[in-house]
Amino acid sequence: MVEIEKLKVEYKDGEVEIWGNRAGLTWLGDLCLGLSELSEEQAKTAANHYHIDEHMSDAEPGSVPLLITLKLDL
């Protein structure tokens, strides 16, 4: 049986908490790896970020929106 990716993002006591099942955390890791592998040209486009939000169906209900961005000049 294939496990469905599940993530929940919370902000509690001054910390961002990301909760996930194995498939969800693997998906998040793959997402971050994919962003890190963008070319310099791709990093200057809208491909340089990803929104995780319950309204986009990639986070569990009650999650706070999360934006993950490749920023080459950090």
Amino acid 1: pLDDT: 76
Q: What is the pLDDT averaged over residues 53-65?
A: 93
Asked if residue 74 is part of any domain, the answer here is no
**Count of domains for the chain:** 1
Asked if residue 1 is part of any domain, the answer here is no
Asked if residue 56 is part of any domain, the answer here is yes
Full residue range of the structural domain in which residue 38 is found: 7-69
Asked if residue 2 is part of any domain, the answer here is no
pTM value is 0.89
3 state DSSP class of 4: coil
Asked if residue 42 is part of any domain, the answer here is yes
Asked if residue 33 is part of any domain, the answer here is yes
- pLDDT above 80 for 9: yes
Confidence of residue 16 (pLDDT cuts 50, 70, 90): very high
The rounded distance, in Å, linking the Cα atoms of 46 and 38 is 11
- pLDDT above 90 for 56: no
Asked if residue 12 is part of any domain, the answer here is yes
Asked if residue 23 is part of any domain, the answer here is yes
Q: How far is CA 59 from CA 5, 27, 45, 73, in A?
A: 9, 12, 24, 28
